[in-house]
Each structure stands twice: as structure tokens, then as C-alpha cells.
Amino acid sequence: MSDEAMDAVTRDDHGTPPGTTSVALGDRAGLHRGAPTGEPLLAATDLVAGYLPGVNILNGCDLVLHPGELIGIIGPNGAGKSTLLKALFGLVNVRSGSVTLGGEDITNLRADHLVQRGVGFVPQNNNVFPSLTIEENLQMGAFQAPRKFAERFAFVAELFPTLGERRRQRAGSLSGGERQMVAMARALMMEPSVLLLDEPSAGLSPVKQDETFLRTRKINKAGVSVVIVEQNARRALQICDRGYVLDQGRNAYSGPGRQLMHDPKVIELYLGTLATDVEAAATHAPLIPPAEKS
């Protein structure tokens, strides 16, 4: 899909608030400038976390997700993006700092408890059971609430018609894009209020990547607040309300997606490959309407 086409489907419903700019996060007070005000749905404050004793991978991460938002996390390989999602989902030990959901402390709560509280997580790899059918995979997603299965299956089959049509097909025989649908659908079976997605477009063709981003928007529009970690920074920033740039376990920048995408510092320091994309786009077709560029 062209940038213009992607823009047409993603633009305006979450337009960049006028006058907002991305902020370098040395300025902690300005950390969430541009973010909606009000009670956050999910908030991580000053997270320090790691796998091995004495080695911290997250070195003071902050993140705020407001109800209804779609936020993106981008940054170089090894920056700690996956670790941040795992820390939010109780899969890596948080050594200091806190995670709250709806104002309640959920720091280091077990993943299955978080699922019950309405958090869904789609890991980047090994996110389906290949020997099970699509339907069985979705049953696994709903095992904590089997009585909801039929209703939730209908919901995900509407979002992903292919899954309904092929419910008896084994997940192992599906394409990468279809498996990614199964993984997202499985996480949606428990009717999460927050969905955490780790690089859902990785390994997919450009067309399938675009489908994944549009599907993510659709899920978000269906009322699920989303945190998406992405290697395809340009697309991620195009669809998200706000983005965070993570570097070495710290937030480096944050701001409205479209603003970050055009922030020369962000491009120069973190989005080397994006710089060429943006330049190319500037000479051919603008990614965002000129009015929003300021």
C-alpha cells in the first residue's frame, strides 16, 4: 500500500494535536507533553528490570497508555523493547519502579493474573500452537473463561474472517501473516482492555505488514488500547497516537507519532533507515498533510 493510501485510512481519526512537539526525555517534566490528560489505563514508572543478576536491561523506563490509545515503541535492536513489554506482562522481574493498571499496582504480577485483569500479550515468536487447529488455538486463549468462547470467537471471526472460515485448519500449515492473525485473535479471546504486541509485522511481506498495521488499527478502534513494539518504525508511527523511542533501556524521545516521524533528531539518532524513507517521501508524496508538519 502506498503511504498516501495508508495515510487515508489512518489519518485524522487521531490527528496530531496542534502545537505539540516531540520532547527529548532529559526533560522529565515534559515527558508526556502531547499526551491526553486524565487517568492512564496502563502506566510504567521508572522501570528497572533485567534477566541476569546485576545486569539491568531497562534503566528507568516510563510509559503511559491512556484509554483508547494506540502507542508505538520503536528503537534500535537490543534497546529493550521486548523486555519492556515482558516487564509490563510480568515475564521479567521488575527490580524497581512500578506498573499500574487502572490505577492499581500490578508490578510483577503473574501473567495469568494479568490476563484475568484484561491485559493481552502477543509475543514476537512462537506465538501459536502449530499442531493445534485455529479453533483450538483460540480455545487456549479462552481457557480461563471457556463459557465466553462462542461469543469471543464470533468477535474475532468478524475482525479476521479468514480465521472463521478456516477454523479447522492446523496453525502450523498457515502463512506467517495468518499465524500472526491467530496470535492476535488468541490474545483477544479474553476481551482485553490492553493489548501488548511485540513486532507483529516482523518477517512479513510489505503487503502483509500493511494488513497487520491496519488490523491493529481496527482492533484499537474496536475499543482495545494497544501498545505496539515495531521494527517498521515509519508504519508504526503512522498508525499510532503517540510513540516512544527507546534506547539502551531508557526512553529517548516521546511524542505524537507523526511528529516523531519528522523530528530531525529522532531521524538522525535513531531512525537511520527511516531518514531515507522520509527523504524519499518528501520528494514524491508527503506522508502527512503539509498543515500538520510545522
Cβ closest to ligand ADP, residue 83 vs residue 232:
83
User: Where in 75-114 is the site for Mg ion (CB under 5 A)?
Assistant: 81-82
Query: Min. distance of Cβ 246 from Mg ion in angstroms?
Result: 10
CA gap 36, 242 in Å, rounded: 10
| Binding partner of residue 79 among Mg ion, ligand ADP, none, CB cut-off 5 to 8 Å per kind | ligand ADP
Place of cell 527490580: 95
Cβ closest to Mg ion, residue 153 vs residue 213:
213
The amino acid occupying position 172 is G
User: Where in 5-44 is the site for Mg ion (CB under 5 A)?
Assistant: none
Coil, strand, or helix at residue 227?
strand
Is residue 127 close enough to count as binding Mg ion by CB under 5 A?
no
Coil, strand, or helix at residue 102?
coil
Strand 70-74 and strand 225-229: the pairing is parallel
Place of cell 514476537: 124
| Binding partner of residue 78 among Mg ion, ligand ADP, none, CB cut-off 5 to 8 Å per kind | ligand ADP
Cβ closest to ligand ADP, residue 175 vs residue 248:
248
User: Where in 131-160 is the site for ligand ADP (CB under 6 A)?
Assistant: none
Is residue 81 close enough to count as binding ligand ADP by CB under 6 A?
yes
Report the candidate in 124, 167, 161, 156 with the shortest Cα–Cα distance to residue 222: 156
| Binding partner of residue 88 among Mg ion, ligand ADP, none, CB cut-off 5 to 8 Å per kind | none
Contact 237, 252 (CB under 8 A): no
**Alpha carbon of residue 234 to chain centroid:** 13
Is residue 52 close enough to count as binding ligand ADP by CB under 6 A?
yes
